[in-house]
Amino acid sequence: MCPCGCGCGSDEEETVEKPVQVVMIPCKYCAALFPQTETFCPNCGARRSE
Ligand SMILES: [Zn+2]
């Protein structure tokens, strides 16, 4: 049964596999957001500090 009671018929629980959330960090130089997995800013090429 629909957990929200709206009758939509959805009985899915919140167990759907979520895609791996990539943490986006702002470049300290140009403020462009880039994935934490990247070592260098794709915008200005600066090396991320951590
Ligand atoms: Zn940058």
pTM over 0.75: no
Per-residue pLDDT, 1 = 63
Please give the tally of structural domains in the chain: 1
Per-residue pLDDT, 33 = 96
Task: Tell me the C-alpha distance between 11 and 17, whole Å.
Answer: 16
Task: Look at residue 23 and tell me if it is in a domain.
Answer: yes
- What sign results for the dihedral spanned by CA atoms 10, 14, 16, 21? positive
Cα 21 to middle of ligand 1, angstroms: 21
Cα 20 to middle of ligand 1, angstroms: 23
Over residues 1-50, the pLDDT tens digits come to 667 777 776 666 777 787 778 899 999 999 999 999 999 999 999 998 76
The whole domain housing 39 covers 18-50
Task: Look at residue 48 and tell me if it is in a domain.
Answer: yes
Cα 38 to middle of ligand 1, angstroms: 11
Cα 37 to middle of ligand 1, angstroms: 14
